[in-house]
Amino acid sequence: MRQATIVSQRSNLTANTKSSSEREFDAWRCNPIVDHTHIREGISTTSLIQRILEPGLPLPDQGPLRNLLDVFAGSIFPPPAIIDLDSPGRFEFPRHGDTKVVYVGGSWDCFSAGHVEYLRRSKAAVRVNGRVMLAVGLWSDKTIRDVAGDPPFLLLMERALAVIQCRHADALILNAPCDISISTYNSLAIDIVVNGDKDSCEIGVKVLAVTAVFRVFPTHCRGRLCRW
């Protein structure tokens, strides 16, 4: 009886010394109504860290993230258009009246406030009478590896989930190449290209110069993380 009393007193003492957040967590964990075994699909930080520290590991399936992307897009009004250039079929943006399609491409890896500001500037720099649709092109994982020499931190669908949450992005173009062909410009009916090259001018697409406000060096960042 004496031993049971001492154990009870110790338990009460431990409970009294816990912070309010710890007590709330204990109550949440002990609640039989909550199903703690259910895990939603999403970007896994564990998988991300493993890919950084061990680049040779097999890449995760991006199918569930693509489904999540479609579900998230459907919850936005008006829903942003999502076009995958690797998928067969005709690509066309939904237009309303005097809509002008503005294209800006990039990797959008480690999406940050600098990327958001760049998209805001790209959309705000267009002076037209009518609606402006900002179509954001996302380079494929292979394209980034070929251009930068290193794979991106985030996979294509992970990057797309970050970009689509930005209010300045009205449409996503998945697997966009660094240099878009004339046929793709024509099929997408792109009117303006942000920081495009001379080829864009030659086919009648207006080129808009916008200053970038971010500089990301994935190779240097990856080296720092691997030294931890």
pTM recorded for the entire structure: 0.73
Query: What is the length of the chain?
Result: 228
Could you give the number of structural domains in the chain?
Answer: 1
Quick check: is 76 in a domain? yes
Query: Any idea what the CATH number is for the domain that residue 108 is in?
Result: 3.40.50.620
Quick check: is 40 in a domain? no
Quick check: is 149 in a domain? yes
Q: Which range marks the domain in which residue 93 is found?
A: 62-226
Quick check: is 5 in a domain? no
Residue 111 has a pLDDT of 93
In order along its 228 residues, the chain shows pLDDT tens digits of 444 444 344 444 444 566 665 665 566 455 544 444 444 567 788 888 888 888 888 888 999 999 999 999 999 988 899 999 998 776 677 666 788 899 999 999 999 999 999 999 999 988 777 789 999 999 999 999 998 888 899 999 999 999 999 999 999 999 999 888 888 888 888 888 998 665 555 556 787 778 876 554 444 444 433 333
Quick check: is 196 in a domain? yes
Residue 27 has a pLDDT of 60
Quick check: is 168 in a domain? yes
Quick check: is 7 in a domain? no
Quick check: is 30 in a domain? no
CB within 8 Å of 42: residues ≥ 6 apart: 65, 68
Residue 138 has a pLDDT of 97
Spatial distance between the Cα atoms of 121 and 5, rounded to a whole number of angstroms: 69
Residue 204 has a pLDDT of 63
Spatial distance between the Cα atoms of 222 and 224, rounded to a whole number of angstroms: 5
Residue 7 has a pLDDT of 36
